[in-house]
């Protein structure tokens, strides 16, 4: 589905590229042995090197390199056997060294892509230009003192992977799908926890507009947007703003903007004229990073099944729709739960219950699927009871709720609460007769042509059976008895 902005000078399309910073899961920082636990007391996880003490040298943490290589596989990208660390020079109070060690023209990963599934079921391929590793900066804290700012260097030197997409994204929806897929991939691999609200995944959004077929327009970069929803809102606002400027005869200046999530708008931070020259140069304290084939092959073998492969397998082996498969694999734990619940049972029904009733119930309880009161095995059994006619879909709603509340298996609940479906024709007939006998006026109305009353009779009879009558049989019998 294309995302088009209608203007007075014709249709406009939006062109988006995303730069995502992912904090690497590791025991220590990229170039020092300091720990990296999130939420620790300020300045308790700082080595002399992280604090910029003179004479301290960086020592590369290979765990971070391995995480980057695995992530490169996840991005279907080329792992470069030689990459080079470079200094990106700028001064800021949360950067004690006065430079960030990053990678410039020789990144560790280049030329990849990920495929995302859109709401209409279509697949879109989004190119990845590169991924490099670099240090994170510390944090300034401005709200602890009326006139002073504090600095916390716990985050200084933590490894980041910066993943740069090609400008292949054409709508807020595609940007959202790309970020969800990316988050899913790094979580499956275990290279980043993907928590945008904790800042372990942060997104810079490059936005420009053009008439379809024209060359790319000038772009604005929206810095550090910290939720997928905000990224989508920022693109929507910024693209409309640019169209307005252009249609009024103005021009877009290349600039850095920030997103105001309260107002839902973007604002100028700095223009290109004041942009910093980072004076990149290769870091003389670090030799080029060379990877041997053995390491690359070992890591390739250690790769888990990734969301894309799992999605395909769920569609192929379990017959679920692409859209359901997308929802089921987004989180590793959901995928594992589905597989356990679906094995040997009606997988499509199992998928429906997970994505519908189970998600809603867990949401209400505020629990992750790993703590679900309904086990995967019990959900599978409940679906069996529906398939073999022991309970109706309607009664299943109640059975499911009892399973959530009491944690018991469905057979026990059906037996204890007497929820077995009535499929005995004689028993249902008796109830239908009673309902008709109690409402002679309605029967007369129906017979004089008021067909709509059929639904009313079905409802009354179902209620009289306490919801336990087999719906199809009940329907047939009501119809038959009314036409006598």
- Cα–chain-centroid distance for residue 61? 29
Please identify, using beta-carbon distances, which residue of 162 and 173 lies nearer to Mn ion: 162
Please identify, using beta-carbon distances, which residue of 162 and 236 lies nearer to Mn ion: 162
**Minimum distance, C-beta of residue 370 to Mn ion, in the bound complex (Å):** 33
DSSP 8-class letter at 35: B
Q: Give the C-alpha separation, 329 to 313, whole Å.
A: 10
Site for Mn ion in 161-220 (CB under 5 A): 162
**Minimum distance, C-beta of residue 381 to Mn ion, in the bound complex (Å):** 50
- Beta-bridged to residue 28, according to DSSP, are 35
Please identify, using beta-carbon distances, which residue of 202 and 311 lies nearer to Mn ion: 202
Please identify, using beta-carbon distances, which residue of 19 and 193 lies nearer to Mn ion: 19
Number of residues that bind Mn ion (CB under 5 A): 1
Please identify, using beta-carbon distances, which residue of 86 and 341 lies nearer to Mn ion: 86
Please identify, using beta-carbon distances, which residue of 66 and 162 lies nearer to Mn ion: 162
- The DSSP H or E segment spanning 257 is strand 255-260
**Minimum distance, C-beta of residue 107 to Mn ion, in the bound complex (Å):** 11
**Minimum distance, C-beta of residue 204 to Mn ion, in the bound complex (Å):** 8
- Radius of gyration (Cα) for the chain, nearest Å? 30
**Minimum distance, C-beta of residue 276 to Mn ion, in the bound complex (Å):** 13
Burial of 476 from C-beta contacts in 10 A (0-12 / 13-18 / 19+): middle
- Find the residue with minimal CB distance to Mn ion: 162
Q: Give the C-alpha separation, 330 to 413, whole Å.
A: 32
Please identify, using beta-carbon distances, which residue of 136 and 238 lies nearer to Mn ion: 136
**Minimum distance, C-beta of residue 100 to Mn ion, in the bound complex (Å):** 8
Please identify, using beta-carbon distances, which residue of 162 and 339 lies nearer to Mn ion: 162
Helical axes 332-342 vs 376-387, angle rounded to 10°: 40
Please identify, using beta-carbon distances, which residue of 162 and 283 lies nearer to Mn ion: 162
**Minimum distance, C-beta of residue 51 to Mn ion, in the bound complex (Å):** 21
CA dihedral 151, 155, 160, 162 (to 10 degrees): -30
Binding flag, residue 136, Mn ion (CB under 5 A)? no
Answer whether 437's CB lies under 8 Å from 423's CB.
Answer: no
**Minimum distance, C-beta of residue 99 to Mn ion, in the bound complex (Å):** 13
Task: List the x/- string, 142-171, binding to Mn ion by CB under 5 A.
Answer: --------------------x---------
**Minimum distance, C-beta of residue 161 to Mn ion, in the bound complex (Å):** 10
- Cα–chain-centroid distance for residue 9? 36
Other Cβ atoms less than 10 A from the Cβ of 3: the count is: 18
Which of 225, 284, 209 is CA-nearest to residue 16? 209
Helix (H, G, I), strand (E, B) or coil at 41: coil
Residues of 94-123 as b/e, b for ≥16 C-beta within 10 angstroms?
Answer: bbbbebbbbbbebbbbbebebebbbeeeee
Q: Any idea which residue has 């940007």 for tokens?
A: 175
- Beta-bridged to residue 48, according to DSSP, are none
Please state whether beta strands 255-260 and 220-225 pair in parallel, antiparallel, or not at all (unpaired).
Answer: parallel
Which of 132, 17, 151 is CA-nearest to residue 77? 132
Please identify, using beta-carbon distances, which residue of 86 and 478 lies nearer to Mn ion: 86
**Minimum distance, C-beta of residue 177 to Mn ion, in the bound complex (Å):** 23
Binding site for Mn ion (CB under 5 A): 162
């Amino acid at each position: 589905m294309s995302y088009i902005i209608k203007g007075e000078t014709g249709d406009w399309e939006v062109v988006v590229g995303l730069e995502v910073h992912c904090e690497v899961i590791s025991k220590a920082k990229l170039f020092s042995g300091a720990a990296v636990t999130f939420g620790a007391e300020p300045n308790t996880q700082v080595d002399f090197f992280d604090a910029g003490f003179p004479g301290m040298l960086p020592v590369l943490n290979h765990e971070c390199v391995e995480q980057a290589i695995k992530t490169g596989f996840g991005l279907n990208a080329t792992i470069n056997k030689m990459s080079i660390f470079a200094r990106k020079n700028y001064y800021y109070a949360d950067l004690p060294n006065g430079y960030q060690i990053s990678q410039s023209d020789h990144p560790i990963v280049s030329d990849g892509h990920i495929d995302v599934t859109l709401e209409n079921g279509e697949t879109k391929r989004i190119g990845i230009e590169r991924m490099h590793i670099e240090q994170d900066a510390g944090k300034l804290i401005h709200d602890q003192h009326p006139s002073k700012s504090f600095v916390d260097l716990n985050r200084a030197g933590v490894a980041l992977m910066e993943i740069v997409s090609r400008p292949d994204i054409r709508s807020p929806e595609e940007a959202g799908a790309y970020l969800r897929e990316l988050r899913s991939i790094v979580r499956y691999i275990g290279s980043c926890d993907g928590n945008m609200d904790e800042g372990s995944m942060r997104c810079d959004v490059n936005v420009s507009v053009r008439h379809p077929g024209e060359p790319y327009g000038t772009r604005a970069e929206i810095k550090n947007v910290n939720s997928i929803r905000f990224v989508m809102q920022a693109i929507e606002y910024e693209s409309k703003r640019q169209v307005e400027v252009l249609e009024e005869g103005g021009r877009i200046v290349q600039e850095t903007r920030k997103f105001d999530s309260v107002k839902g708008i973007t604002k100028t931070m700095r223009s290109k004229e004041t942009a910093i020259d980072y004076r990149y140069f290769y870091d003389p304290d670090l030799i080029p990073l060379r990877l041997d084939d053995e390491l690359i092959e070992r890591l390739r073998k250690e790769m888990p099944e990734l969301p894309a492969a799992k999605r395909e397998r769920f569609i192929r082996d379990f017959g679920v729709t692409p859209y359901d498969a997308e929802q089921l694999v987004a989180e590793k734990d959901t995928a594992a739960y589905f597989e356990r619940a679906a094995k040997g049972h009606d997988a499509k029904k199992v998928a429906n219950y997970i994505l519908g009733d189970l998600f809603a119930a867990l949401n209400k309880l505020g629990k992750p699927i790993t703590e679900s009161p309904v086990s995967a095995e019990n959900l599978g059994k409940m679906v069996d009871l529906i398939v073999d006619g022991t309970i109706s879909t309607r009664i299943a709603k109640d059975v499911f709720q009892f399973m959530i509340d009491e944690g018991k298996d469905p057979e026990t609940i059906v037996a204890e609460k007497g929820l077995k479906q009535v499929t005995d024709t004689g028993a249902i007939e008796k109830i239908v007769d009673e309902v008709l006998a109690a409402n002679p006026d309605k029967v007369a109305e129906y017979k004089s042509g008021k067909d709509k009353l059929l639904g009313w009779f079905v409802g009354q009879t179902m209620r009289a059976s306490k919801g336990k009558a087999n719906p199809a049989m009940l329907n047939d019998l009501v119809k038959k008895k009314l036409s006598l």
